Amino acid sequence: MRAVDIHSRKLASEFKITSPQLLCLQTLHDDGPLTTSALAKLIHLSNSTTVGILDRLEMKEWVIRERSQRDRRIVLVHITPEGEQALKDAPSLLQERLATGLAALPEKEQLAIAQALERIVEMLEMTRTEAAPLLESGPIIETQPELPDPGLPQVAARNTED
């Protein structure tokens, strides 16, 4: 946990981007233009929080907001080319480091790690009454075509929607 925390701060000071901002960018990159509330749902933050983050991203010209013509309530948020570049430059939320490291491990160990993490997530959820979305990204290693996809036991994507 402290590792993640420290990484997050390092990110902010070195790459001028914070974790939530990076998460937004990444989500916009992956899932195309999104409405504000759709984005908020995807990253599990409140609407108002998301607006703030988008404000900062827009200031840096990494995203643009575009009002829909058909339904003028709706605002579509796009990632800009500059935003894409920023995404490339910044280490992607620890994932890159992890992905590289994991890819280098023997398949058997990857499996063991996946199972261990699954156990832990299980435990964290143990006493929960209301379901919370915990891990819903796809497989940890996804953009590593050289891997034969050993069929990591997918952490069951609990899409217990709100």
Partner DNA sequence: TGGAAATGTTTCGTGTAGAAACTTTTCCCC
Partner DNA sequence: GGGGAAAAGTTTCTACACGAAACATTTCCA
3-state per-residue secondary structure call for the chain: CHHHHHHHHHHHHHHCCCHHHHHHHHHHHHCCCEEHHHHHHHHCCCHHHHHHHHHHHHHCCCEEEEECCCCCCCEEEEECHHHHHHHHHCCCCCHHHHHHHHHCCCHHHHHHHHHHHHHHHHHHHHCCCCCCCCCCCCCCCCCCCCCCCCCCCCCCCCCCCC
Q: Is 12 in the site for its own copies (CB under 8 A)?
A: no
Q: Which of 25, 28, 54, 141 binds DNA (CB under 7 A)?
A: 54
Q: Is 117 in the site for its own copies (CB under 8 A)?
A: yes
Q: Is 45 in the site for DNA (CB under 7 A)?
A: yes
Could you tell me which stretch among 27-35, 59-67, 69-77, 108-116 binds its own copies (CB under 8 A)? 108-116
- Residues 4-23 close enough to bind DNA by CB under 7 A: 5, 9, 12, 18-21
Q: Which of 133, 139, 147, 150 binds its own copies (CB under 8 A)?
A: 133
Q: Which of 31, 55, 109, 142 binds its own copies (CB under 8 A)?
A: 109
Residues that bind DNA (CB under 7 A): 5, 9, 12, 18-21, 35-38, 45-49, 51-56, 65, 70-76
